[in-house]
Structure 1
């Protein structure tokens, strides 16, 4: 596959997400890897149930939170909730969300991870599915990990 300017793209750029080396389910992991996978699992459960309180329990809910989805940023929890999350939870039905760690590292009260995700939901009578990758920075607060920052980017559908 050629990149802009005619350069050949590296194989890892075009590799299917299903070929990514996942760390495995939370119960097979240890330490911060397990804790971050459990955090992603709790987030997914909240999104699938469309329960804002369950999602909030996974995030920093103050101005320190930052999200970038594709190229759209949300600065602070109030911005993310009002202009992104609550809108999505309200318009998407029968949501299925799965996020699996590819890499994780933690040191003290700060950790980061790279994950792949699949999101599928019904909107306007049509089922839509997207896959992509994300990064997260988590901070330990009162003994629990909370997402302080994350970036997600879905793969573009193949062109014909």
Structure 2
């Protein structure tokens, strides 16, 4: 019974230490209009934080991400459409700011890299398997009479002769 209580306390502690959702958007940044705020959140989840690089600006705590979140909300308040706001940010920061960059010659390697890595890994595994399977096992050659006599002197009396 004691072990169960310890487990429950540990689970409660872990639950308190790791919040289920933690968004970087502060209450001061939120728009009063819920529809406009939902549009802003949709846009900011598609834009990469230029400091963190693996987070959206919606999730990032970096000051640049905060500035971009505020900028997106200002542009929406000015009456820009979602596409216009994305294009505005994209024009200033390039393809890198987009978490889903467009498919074009400049980003082709970015889109193809996972497939190339998968194919390279599969080819490496295939080649290693062929190399292993291609090496025939060399059959053991029969012992000479001299070797048999020496083994008998060492006390080895049961010898199997290889079948050919």
TM range (shorter): under 0.3
| TM-score normalised by structure 2 residue count | 0.22
| TM-score normalised by structure 1 residue count | 0.22
Greater RCO structure (CA 8 Å; 6+ sep)? 1
